Amino acid sequence: MDYPNLDKLIHEQSRLKILIFLSKKYPSKTTFSKLKKNLEMTSGNLSIQLKKLEEAGWINQNKVIEKNKVKTFINITNEGTKALNQYLDDLEKLLSNIKGE
């Protein structure tokens, strides 16, 4: 049987939720505050997870100043989409092996 190794960076629940949300709901871009609200994450935890995803090249963060406030826009990269799709394919293979399909 083939048991694929799941990407540990994506496998962490918060990062997986971020990538799925960005890829399905906001493939072009979203704001930090919208991501925080929809995923029910704290600012600190979200910042840490976004930094890890950005270091991997899977998301981009762009900061702009609007009305004297910094606003952060986030989008998933092509590499992020590929990594997420590969992770989901590997997860499906793993589940198929477990279920004996």
- 8-state DSSP, 31: E
- 8-state DSSP, 101: -
H or E stretch at 66: strand 59-66
Query: How many residues are present in the chain?
Result: 101
Per-residue pLDDT, averaged over 4-8, amounts to 82
Q: What is the pLDDT of residue 26?
A: 63
As a whole number of angstroms, the distance between CA 98 and CA 24 comes to 27
CA quadruple 51, 57, 59, 62: dihedral positive or negative? positive
Question: For the chain, which domains are there?
Answer: 8-99 (1.10.10.10)
* pLDDT band at 24; cut points 50, 70, 90: confident
Query: Which of these, 87, 89, 90, 92, lies nearest to 76 by C-alpha position?
Result: 87
User: Model confidence over 33-58: pLDDT tens digits?
Assistant: 999 999 999 999 999 999 999 999 99
User: Model confidence over 52-85: pLDDT tens digits?
Assistant: 999 999 999 999 998 899 999 999 999 999 999 9
